[in-house]
Amino acid sequence: MNQILKCWAVVPAAGVGKRMQADRPKQYLPLAGKTVIEHTLSRLLGSGAFVKVAVAISVEDPYWPELDISKHPDVITAPGGKERADSVLSALKSLQGLAGEDDWVLVHDAARPCLTAADIHLQIDSMKDDAVGGILALSSHDTLKHVDGDTITATIDRKHVWRALTPQMFKYGMLRDALQQTEGNPAVTDEASALEILGFKPRIVEGRPDNIKITRPDDLALAQFYMEQQT
Ligand code: C5P
């Protein structure tokens, strides 16, 4: 049977971003003429890959309603949660009745504004026939050390260590159930880890190194540089 591929985007955007030391959450900081989250959402919407984009926003967030993109017809707002996983689960619930159990969901951090349409399509094309799905990831160019305090205890074979990026692409029903079953587990720091804990084996596909997460003040200048290079 020929099934139509349906993809939905989920954007956790309810964090405060303490490491930025800014007067507002990092997704609302200015970057190349817009806020960080406007870039992120424009890239998701502009990729043409998604039916809708569900965004988890803190209920006390005064910045979101001020942005035109919050009223975009393809954007759904859901209440954020205590941890990132709670925010993702809340956004998934806002798609209940719209998304089918076997539709794909791509979860992407609001704080990664340099995502390219090329990476979105690469991920969907390479994972759409998978039973589980997986994530964009980056290999390490540096030698990696296991350290205790400031003492090296081992050198890690970097073939086996990858940095987890987003989007993270899973089936709607499977991801919702996995996040519900692992609720409150501190080991769940991304979507893949929730599935791993339940015994599933998500895959990786190598993403672009410019898909950085805005975490520290210097990252804004780096993101601006990458955006200029991309155009
Ligand atoms: O803090 P960190 O950079 O790891 O957050 C990753 C993403 O998760 C950010 O886009 C942030 O807004 C989101 N987040 C969330 N709800 C939380 C904590 C983080 O949506 N409670």
pLDDT grade for 17, boundaries at 50, 70 and 90 = confident
For range 168-188, the mean pLDDT: 97
Pair 187, 193: CB distance under 8 Å: yes
Residue 165, CB-side half-sphere exposure with 13 Å CA sphere: 25
Q: State yes or no: pLDDT of 2 exceeds 80.
A: no
* pLDDT at residue 136, as a whole number: 98
Whole-angstrom Cα distance, residue 154 to residue 131?
Answer: 35
Q: State yes or no: pLDDT of 96 exceeds 80.
A: yes
What type of residue is 137?
A
Q: State yes or no: pLDDT of 223 exceeds 90.
A: yes
Query: Does 82 sit in the ligand 1 pocket, CB within 6 Å?
Result: yes
Cα 228 to ligand 1 centre (Å): 25
Q: What is the mean pLDDT of the chain?
A: 96
Q: Kindly state which CATH superfamily the domain 7-230 is placed in.
A: Spore Coat Polysaccharide Biosynthesis Protein SpsA; Chain A (3.90.550.10)
Query: Does 18 sit in the ligand 1 pocket, CB within 6 Å?
Result: no
Torsions phi, psi for 4 (to 5 deg): -80, 130
* pLDDT at residue 4, as a whole number: 84
pLDDT grade for 1, boundaries at 50, 70 and 90 = very low
For range 121-145, the mean pLDDT: 96
Query: Does 109 sit in the ligand 1 pocket, CB within 6 Å?
Result: yes
Best probe residue, ligand 1, of 28, 84, 188, 215 (max atoms within 8 Å of C-beta): 84
Structure tokens at 46: 């502009």
Per-domain boundaries in the chain? 7-230
